[in-house]
Amino acid sequence: MEILQYGFMQRALLASLMVGLAAPAVGIFLVQRRLSLLGDGLGHVALVGVGVGVLTSTAPVGAALVAAVAGAVLIELVRARGRTSGDVALAVLFYGGIAGGVVLLSLAPAGQATNLDAYLFGAITTTSAGDLVAFGVITVVILSVVWLLGQRLYAVSDDEEYARAVGLPVLALNVVLAALVASTVVLSMRVVGLLLISALMILPSAVAQLLAGSFRQALLLACGIGLVVSLAGTTASYYTGTPSGGTIVLLAIALFLLVALGVAVREATGRRRHRRKVGLHAAHPHEHGEGCGHRPVPHGDHVDYDHDGHLHAPHRTGTGVHYDEHGEHPVPAPVEGKAGRP
H, E, C per residue of 191-214: HHCCCCHHHHHHHHHHHHHHHCCC
32 touching other proteins, by CB under 8 A: yes
Which of 2/161 has CB closer to other proteins? 161
Burial class (CB in 10 A: 0-12, 13-18, 19+), 288: buried
Q: Residue from 94, 135, 215, 238 that binds other proteins (CB under 8 A)?
A: 215
Alpha-carbon distance values, 114 to 54, 95, 107, 111, 169 (Å): 12, 21, 12, 6, 44
Contact 189, 61 (CB under 8 A): yes
Instruction: Give the nearest distance from C-beta 74 to other proteins in angstroms.
Output: 22
Instruction: Give the nearest distance from C-beta 294 to other proteins in angstroms.
Output: 20
Contact 250, 192 (CB under 8 A): no
Q: Residue from 15, 31, 203, 252 that binds other proteins (CB under 8 A)?
A: 31
80 touching other proteins, by CB under 8 A: no
Q: Residue from 273, 275, 295, 341 that binds other proteins (CB under 8 A)?
A: 341
Which of 109/300 has CB closer to other proteins? 300
Dump strand ranges (E) for the chain. 295-299, 302-307, 310-317, 320-326
227 touching other proteins, by CB under 8 A: no
Reduced to 3 states (helix: H, G, I; strand: E, B; else coil), residue 215 is helix
Which of 158/325 has CB closer to other proteins? 158
Residues 85-144 that bind other proteins (CB under 8 A): none
Using the rule CB under 8 A, give the single segment among 236-244, 264-272, 280-288, 313-321 that binds other proteins. 313-321
Instruction: Give the nearest distance from C-beta 5 to other proteins in angstroms.
Output: 41
Burial class (CB in 10 A: 0-12, 13-18, 19+), 24: buried
Q: How far apart are CA 136 and CA 296, in angstroms?
A: 58
CB atoms within 10 A of CB 90: 17
Which of 32/234 has CB closer to other proteins? 32
Which of 163/175 has CB closer to other proteins? 163
Pairing of strands 310-317, 302-307: antiparallel
| Chain centre to alpha carbon of residue 32 | 8
Q: State the number of binding residues for other proteins (CB under 8 A).
A: 49
Residues 152-191 that bind other proteins (CB under 8 A): 152, 154-155, 157-159, 161-169
Q: Which residues contact 211 (CB under 8 A, 6 or more apart)?
A: 218, 221, 259, 263
Instruction: Give the nearest distance from C-beta 206 to other proteins in angstroms.
Output: 9
Alpha-carbon distance values, 88 to 79, 85, 95, 150, 177 (Å): 11, 5, 11, 30, 21
Q: Residue from 84, 114, 317, 319 that binds other proteins (CB under 8 A)?
A: 317
Instruction: Give the nearest distance from C-beta 143 to other proteins in angstroms.
Output: 16
Instruction: Give the nearest distance from C-beta 31 to other proteins in angstroms.
Output: 5
Q: How far apart are CA 241 and CA 38, in angstroms?
A: 30
Instruction: Give the nearest distance from C-beta 128 to other proteins in angstroms.
Output: 35
Terminal Cα-to-Cα distance of the chain (whole angstroms):
38
Instruction: Give the nearest distance from C-beta 129 to other proteins in angstroms.
Output: 34
Contact 94, 75 (CB under 8 A): no
Instruction: Give the nearest distance from C-beta 315 to other proteins in angstroms.
Output: 7
Contact 28, 229 (CB under 8 A): no
Applying CB under 8 A, the residues found at the interface with other proteins are 28, 31-34, 148-149, 151-152, 154-155, 157-159, 161-169, 205, 208-209, 212-218, 300-302, 315-317, 329-333, 335, 339-342
